[in-house]
Amino acid sequence: MSSKRNHLEQNTFYFCTITCFQWLKLIEITNIYDEIYKWFDILKENNCPVTGYVIMPNHLHFLIFQYEGSRLLNTLIANGKRFLAYEIVKRLKRINQNRILNFLSFSVQDNLRQKGQKHRVFNDSFDAKICETEKKNKNCSGLHSF
């Protein structure tokens, strides 16, 4: 379950999930994989390398290590989602997916529309869970820090 909270822990692995709005298959429809890989490179440059990932048609999971002194994970994810959203909208326009574009535009909340948002591409927040050993956290069984 997503929550809007700051993820401040450093020198740790996070298991993150980003989901397209209404589970639309926007990643697959727009073939945005190349831009996701570019974003992963940007994360690495910002001292938060992605160490594993799964890209699905409508969401992505990734394991990221946040080093001490790196930018706030929330900021890096928000910037990435914005970067990807612009490209998704651009590609939807290019392939004439007007029905989807209209739906994404109609779905923008009034307060965000007033701030300039034109399309709702991703769910508002993202999910990030710290990965710890089973001994430390029974809720994260199967995931171990290295």
Phi-psi label, residue 95: left if phi above 0, alpha if psi -120 to 50, beta otherwise: alpha
Dihedral, CA of residue 110, residue 114, residue 117 and residue 122, to nearest 10: -30
What tens digit of pLDDT does each residue of 53-80 get? 999 999 999 999 999 888 888 999 999 9
What tens digit of pLDDT does each residue of 6-32 get? 665 778 999 999 999 999 999 999 999
What tens digit of pLDDT does each residue of 85-140 get? 999 999 999 999 999 999 999 999 999 889 998 999 999 888 889 987 655 555 54
| Domain chopping of the chain, boundaries | 12-140
Return the CA Rg of the chain.
16
Q: Is 3.30.70 the CATH number for 12-140?
A: yes
